[in-house]
Amino acid sequence: MEKQTVTIYDVAREAAVSMATVSRVVNGNPNVKPATRKKVLAVIERLDYRPNAVARGLASKRSTTVGVIIPDVTNIYFASLARGIDDIAMMYKYNIILTNSDDAGEQEVNVLNTLMAKQVDGVIFMGNHIDDKLRAEFKRAKAPVVLAGTVDPQGDTPSVNIDYAAAVEESVTNLIQRGHKKIALALGPLSQSINAEYRLTGYKRALNKAKLPYDDKLIYEAGYSYDAGTKLQPVIADSGATAVFVGDDEMAAGIINASIESGVSVPDDLEVITSNDTIVTQITRPSITSITQPLYDIGAVAMRMLTKLMNDKELDEKTVTLPYGIARRASTKSAE
């Protein structure tokens, strides 16, 4: 007992009009006499007709679907962007095909290709690193691509971000002003440009301005996880650093908990500032001072840009930089 599907043809026949007319009323085309529209609408209602989006997509060459490439949905940072993306997409009647890439270059390219095969009207890409391969794929794709929370140092692709370098610079400068001389920097993989080219740059700029020496022994590369933080803590403690800027909230939580459990007081012996202002920063004790980012908005703005591109409109600015803030919590001392 396969369920019978009602097609536009059935509606046309029942309403004694042509398919073209039915199509017009379904799509809100004004060139239909009110009486006709009403008649067609009644039949649609009666037959419970639902337009087939696939057929529509084939005929119109627009799928009203956008692809979203995300490293991992379970990562709260990216999930927050995804939420902003989906809300705006829904507002504009688009749906989201969401795929996890695990940040793996090869997978990212694959996924992008299957999305293009599905005829998505556009793509929002989130990831930690854009390499040449990917950049080339973006270029050959026939649908527009926008980066969300993702930096491309070459700036070829439209993107929405905060100024990571400035945020780190400001955070580290704060630490310096409170008298710290040895400030550690705990980041994710330096192969990712957000770390190597933005956060590190901000860090160096802060040191430079204060005429503090740069010591690469204070730069730590670890995973984006709680456990990575707990493992890293003794190393940081040994370095003699009295403050640390951390690139990931869970990592920061690990560092804090491990510090306290090993008798290192936070913030007295070690001040900690982290990057993403997730709920984690409020749950730890002490709570963690953090850069704040408008996560939802980064996604939302990226999606808005994409809708423009999908409608062949010009972008006001190709690279959007949203404002960041710094939420002071208990893992840092108050300014003097």
Partner DNA sequence: TATTTTCATGAAAGCGATTTCAATTGCTTT
Partner DNA sequence: AAAGCAATTGAAATCGCTTTCATGAAAATA
Residues contributing to the site for DNA (CB under 7 A): 5-9, 16-21, 23-24, 26-27, 30-37, 49-52, 55-56, 58-61
**Interface with a copy of itself, residue 292, by CB under 8 A:** no
**Interface with a copy of itself, residue 283, by CB under 8 A:** yes
* Closest separation in Å from C-beta 76 to a copy of itself: 6
* DSSP symbols for 84-100: HHHHHHHHTT-EEEEEE
Contacts with a copy of itself by CB under 8 A: the residue count is 51
Residue 227 one-letter amino acid: D
> Which of a copy of itself, DNA, none sits in contact with 24, Cβ below 5 to 8 A by type?
DNA
* Closest separation in Å from C-beta 14 to a copy of itself: 20
Interface mask toward a copy of itself for 211-240; x: CB under 8 A: ---------------x--------------
Bridge partners (DSSP) listed for residue 220: 186
Stretch that binds a copy of itself, among 182-190, 233-241, 267-275, 276-284 (CB under 8 A): 276-284
- Residue 246 CA to residue 51 CA, distance in Å, equals 51
Residue 203 one-letter amino acid: Y
* Closest separation in Å from C-beta 17 to DNA: 3
* Closest separation in Å from C-beta 64 to a copy of itself: 9
- Residue 133 CA to residue 183 CA, distance in Å, equals 36
**Interface with a copy of itself, residue 114, by CB under 8 A:** yes
Nearest to 331 by CA among 288, 302, 296: 288
* DSSP symbols for 273-308: EESS--THHHHSSS--EEEE--HHHHHHHHHHHHHH
Tell me the two tokens of residue 213: 């020496």
